[in-house]
Amino acid sequence: MKATVTGGAGFIGSHVVDALLAAGADVVVLDDLSTGHEDNVDPRAELLVASITDGDMVAKAVDSSDLVVHLAASRAVLASVERPLETDRINVGGSLQVLDAARQAGVRRVVSASSSSVYGGADQLPTPETQPANPRSPYAVSKLTAEHYLRVFTELYGLETVSLRFFNVYGPRQRPDSRYAAVIPLFIRAISEDRSPEVHGDGQQSRDFTYIADVIAAVMRAATAPAEQCSGKVYNVAGGGRYTLLDLLDVLEDQIGNRPARRHVEPRAGDVRHSQADIAAARRDLGFDPTVGLADGLARTIEWARQGAPTPRGSS
């Protein structure tokens, strides 16, 4: 099998590449390296450095592929608030570019990363996929729009598609050295250096944190599940729990052994208050079942951060 991974030099994408190589696939990575890193990519994979908005390079990347795992995106909510047109160009236009190239190349299936942010702070917790979407940021709007494009390409062209709504993914290779870095690597770095972690708002906002190994398991199952069960559909992918940022800090401080004073700052624009997934549909149709709890996942992530080196290929 040949597989193409867009965004395959990034945090989630590089783990997907490792899993596909371990399964015996020939893998092509398409990544512009704007946030991904070449040293994340196993040298057995072919790396094409280009944007998903580059039609010629997208067509080259997906040529003869059986599977496309589409992860490339402008990911940060705050960045989308600041630059909505760029977010739309990459997340909507780029996704459409990938889908159309896959259709023309005869790709069997496209598995695409969506986001829990499409719910916009749902009233029902845990939240099933049937809950109406209410995106509250340009990023969330772009991810929901891409979901609709995947469904339409299944209905109109017969291209098998699966959208996965990821909930707050964390783990090894998630870096803190970005203005838009996720909260867990930022907290780990601050606490490890005995500096005050920065908490947006009161810290009582809650999230369903998902360890990277569980996300990769979901992607691999979405790539192989029978089309009659999953094609054209959307699934939540999450750890199945809900923790506040203050809960998260408590666990990290206990594991690292430092308790610096916390610094509260203004809430971030576009953030939702509470988020938790109902993963019953993914269990039923994909056979997905998360296995790594928060404490265990954080311990693994802290150990990776302490090593100061990339995770060995094929491990999570």
Q: Residues 267-282: what's their mean pLDDT?
A: 92
pLDDT digits (tens, 9 = 90+) for 199-241: 999 999 999 999 999 999 999 999 999 999 999 999 999 998 9
Which domains does the chain possess? 2-167+210-238+279-286 (3.40.50.720)
Q: Residues 147-175: what's their mean pLDDT?
A: 98
**Rounded Cα gap, residues 162 and 226, in angstroms:** 11
Asked if the model's pLDDT at residue 309 lies above 70, the reply is no
- Would you state the pLDDT for residue 157? 98
**Which residue has better confidence, 241 or 311?**
241
Indicate the residue type of 130: T
What confidence category does residue 313 fall into, taking pLDDT thresholds of 50, 70 and 90?
very low
Identify the CA nearest to 152 among candidates 95, 209, 199. 95
- Would you state the pLDDT for residue 315? 43
Q: What is the pTM of this model?
A: 0.95
Torsion sign over Cα 159, 224, 96, 151: positive
Percent of the chain with pLDDT over 90: 91
Q: Residues 245-273: what's their mean pLDDT?
A: 94
Asked if the model's pLDDT at residue 308 lies above 80, the reply is no
- Would you state the pLDDT for residue 121? 86
- Would you state the pLDDT for residue 220? 98
Q: Residues 13-42: what's their mean pLDDT?
A: 98
- Would you state the pLDDT for residue 97? 98
Please identify every residue annotated as catalytic.
139
Average pLDDT along the chain: 95
Nearest-10 Cα torsion for 78, 68, 116, 218: -140
Asked if the model's pLDDT at residue 14 lies above 80, the reply is yes
DSSP 46: E
- Would you state the pLDDT for residue 271? 82
pLDDT digits (tens, 9 = 90+) for 103-135: 999 999 999 999 999 999 888 999 999 999 999
- Would you state the pLDDT for residue 312? 41
For residue 302, give every residue at least 6 positions away whose Cβ sits within 8 Å of its Cβ, in sequence order, or none.
188, 192, 252, 255, 256
**Rounded Cα gap, residues 224 and 221, in angstroms:** 5
For residue 107, give every residue at least 6 positions away whose Cβ sits within 8 Å of its Cβ, in sequence order, or none.
4, 62, 65, 66, 67, 68, 159
- Would you state the pLDDT for residue 269? 80
**Rounded Cα gap, residues 96 and 149, in angstroms:** 7
pLDDT digits (tens, 9 = 90+) for 74-85: 988 889 999 999
- Segment (H or E) for 200: strand 198-200
User: Please, what is the Cα angle at 79 between 173 and 51, to 5 degrees?
Assistant: 65
Asked if the model's pLDDT at residue 314 lies above 50, the reply is no
- Is the separation of the CB atoms in 46 and 209 below 8 Å? no
- Is the separation of the CB atoms in 167 and 210 below 8 Å? yes
User: Please, what is the Cα angle at 22 between 158 and 209, to 5 degrees?
Assistant: 75
Residue 187 corresponds to which tokens in the numbers above? 């907290």
- Would you state the pLDDT for residue 144? 98
**Rounded Cα gap, residues 94 and 146, in angstroms:** 9
**Rounded Cα gap, residues 34 and 53, in angstroms:** 13
